[in-house]
Structure formats: structure tokens, C-alpha cells
Amino acid sequence: MKLHPLLIVLLLTTLVGFASGLLLPQLLPLRPSAPLHLIFALGIMPLIMGAMTYFVPVLTRTRTAEPRALAPALLALAAGLLLSFSLFFSFSLYPLAALLGLVAAGWLSLWILQRKRQTLGRPHPGLLWYQLALLALIGGLLAILAAFFLPEQWGPLRRLHLHLNLLGFVGLTALGTLRVLLPTTGGYSDPDAGPWLMQQWPWMVAGTLLIAAGAAWSPAAALLGVLLWLLPLARLLKSLLVTHRSTVWRSHGAVTSLAGAVLGLLVILLSGAAHAEGWLPPTNTTHAFIPLFLLPLVSGAATHLLPLWLSTSNKQREQSLRSRLGRYSAVRATLFLLGGLFILAGQGWGLVPVLLALAQFLVTVLLSLRPNY
């Protein structure tokens, strides 16, 4: 089997994970953490691992990844399926899911290290961000395993697990990719991208560790971590809102959704600071993370990458699919962000615009799978 069909399956699984994570808690009595776990474990974690497998050869200037290189991503998908089962039937199975996730993350880390050693010259600085993101994922999974054996520390270790996964694994992967993908999708040159990646990772890593540890044990440390995240993010936002605003903010295309995800991440960080001060309940920020950041991020990345995976040798069809997937992306991103803001404010009906935008994108993706579309 080729690499691209497997990546498409992972993308479709992620979109199904989004839909189930948003809808099922409205229909069934599930744990409060269920929406994020369904979306993260069933969709985001396998998809990110698959995307890393796709991008690492580019970052290391090595041969295209072989299909078997997706084994860690498929193992992560198995872990997500097991965790999803545990949410409905037997929560005691979650340690086994965490163990499978650890094996997948460790396996992919070793594969990336092998590719790094094969690089001619120096690898792209984005590769280090992937390695750090996987280390954060490993730390988050170890934290939740430790909580199983230390039930008296369940609350702090669960919060440590949550923040290492969301800001560490998802956040570092996303920003490491976005600094390359934003200029590509926007069609502009960004000479600051490489230096930004090389200079900002220590601050982002330190900020992630402080936020995660602070959420677990010390709100003051979490606030310092937020500040360390905001400074590099401000430089990226300046590029999007000032330097390249006429190129980035369009009615259609992947770049608008991706830029919207950066704005959503800023809102999440600020709401996290508000939560640390006791001004917002933590569940609001956690649930708002999905529409404010994950949905515009995945829809924007899929708009650019899915046509490439579907039309490897047909540039005309690739451009046509990309145009159709990116149609009304500004409206879609606006619905995601507005819905996320309402959810952040505790207004449950904010889910309505989010589901409408997701449904529109999911239908477009399914139509794009037709050969004659």
C-alpha cells in the first residue's frame, strides 16, 4: 500500500473524531473529558504522527517515507480506539492505551533520529520542533500512567498530562509546521521563518513546561509560562497581521484558516491565564481549544495537503481540489472562532456554528474523494 492513502484515512478518522467528540457528549452521559479525548486520541495524535512521517523526509532532505513508516501513526490510532472504548465501557483500560501511545511515540522518535543522521548537511530547524513535541507527548503519557499508580496525585498529574499533550505535542508540532506552511499556502516569502524556529524553541519549551507544571501545582509558574509563549507568538502574529496581512487574509484558501488557528491559540493562552487567576472555569478553556485552534488548523492543513495526496501526478486536478476545499475558508474560520469564543464564555449554543462549519468542510472533503470531482 502507498503512503498517501493511509494519510487520507488518518485525515478522515480525525474529522470523524471531531464530529463524534462534539456530538456524542450532547447525546450520551459521558465523562467531562470525553470530547477532547475522542478528538485527540482518535484523530489528532495519529494524524500528527502521520503528518510528521510525511514532512520529515522534506526537513531532512532524504528519500520519501515508505508506507511502513506510518506504523507508529497506525499504532497511535489503535491506542485511540482503545481509549475511546474505555470512555464508554471500562475506564480501567486507559493505561493500556497510554502504553500503546508511548510505544508509538518512541518508535516515531527513533525513526526521526535515524532520518536526521542520514541528512546531507544540517536538517531544517523544524525537525527539532517535531522531536521536542514527541518528547512532550511521551511526558504527558508518562504523567497519566503515573496517576494510575498514584491516585492521590490524580488531579495534578492529569493537568500535567493535559497541558503537555495540548501545548507541548500539538502546540509545538503546529507552530513548527505553520512557520513553513503559512508562506507556502499564502504564496509569500518569509525569510524570518528559519531564524524564528531556531531562536524561539527554548522559550516555547520552557513556557510549555512552566504552564504544565504550573497547572498541576503552581498557578504563578503557569502565568510565567504563558508570558514565555506570548512573546514568540507575538512575533508570528505581527507577520500575519501587519507584514503579510494583504496576502494572508483572503476570502478563500488554506492560509486564512491557518492564520485563524494562530489567532485562536492566542485566545487560548490568554484564557489559560484567566483560568489560572480563577476568572474562568478550566472546562471552558479545554472545550474551546477544539474550535479555536484544532479545527481551523486541521481544516487549513487539509485544504493544502489533501489535494497533494489525492493528485500526486496531476497538477491541474490538485489546484482544482485545493480551490474547492479552500472556498469560503474565511467564513468557515470565522464560524469556528466565534463558536469557540461563545463556548469559552460558557454559552453551549456556540457549538452550533462550529458544527455547521465542520459539516460543510466534511462534505467537501468527502466529495473531493470522488475521481470526477
Distance, CA of 329 to CA of 312 (rounded, Å): 23
Instruction: Specify the pLDDT at position 225.
Output: 94
- 84 residue type, one letter: S
The owner of cell 504544565 is 212
Instruction: Specify the pLDDT at position 167.
Output: 94
Distance, CA of 43 to CA of 8 (rounded, Å): 12
Q: What is the dihedral of CA 15, 21, 24, 26, to 10 degrees?
A: -120
Better-scored residue on pLDDT, 229 or 2: 229
Q: Are 112 and 52 in contact (CB under 8 A)?
A: yes
Any alpha helices (H) in the chain, and if so which ranges?
3-27, 34-39, 45-60, 71-88, 94-117, 126-149, 154-163, 172-186, 193-217, 219-238, 245-248, 254-276, 282-289, 295-310, 315-325, 329-344, 351-368
Instruction: Specify the pLDDT at position 36.
Output: 83
Taking alpha carbons only, the member of 318, 299, 317, 300 closest to residue 308 is 318
Taking alpha carbons only, the member of 159, 167, 166 closest to residue 206 is 167
Instruction: Specify the pLDDT at position 278.
Output: 67
Rounded to an integer, the average pLDDT of 178-207 is 92
Instruction: Supply the mean pLDDT for the chain.
Output: 91
How do residues 55-93 score in pLDDT, each as one tens digit?
999 999 999 899 899 999 999 999 999 988 887 777 778
Q: Tell me the pLDDT band of 120, cut-offs 50, 70 and 90.
A: confident
256 grid coordinates: 486564512
With a cut of 60, say whether residue 1 has pLDDT above it.
Answer: no
Distance, CA of 57 to CA of 132 (rounded, Å): 17
Question: Could you tell me the end-to-end alpha-carbon distance of the chain, in angstroms, rounded to an integer?
Answer: 23
What is the radius of gyration, based on Cα positions, of the chain?
Answer: 19
Rounded to an integer, the average pLDDT of 284-288 is 87
**What does pTM read for this prediction?**
0.95
Distance, CA of 137 to CA of 176 (rounded, Å): 15
Distance, CA of 317 to CA of 296 (rounded, Å): 24
Residue 192: how many other CB atoms lie within 10 Å:
16
The owner of cell 471552558 is 284
How do residues 310-354 score in pLDDT, each as one tens digit?
877 778 888 999 999 999 999 999 999 999 999 999 898 999 999
Q: Tell me the pLDDT band of 193, cut-offs 50, 70 and 90.
A: confident
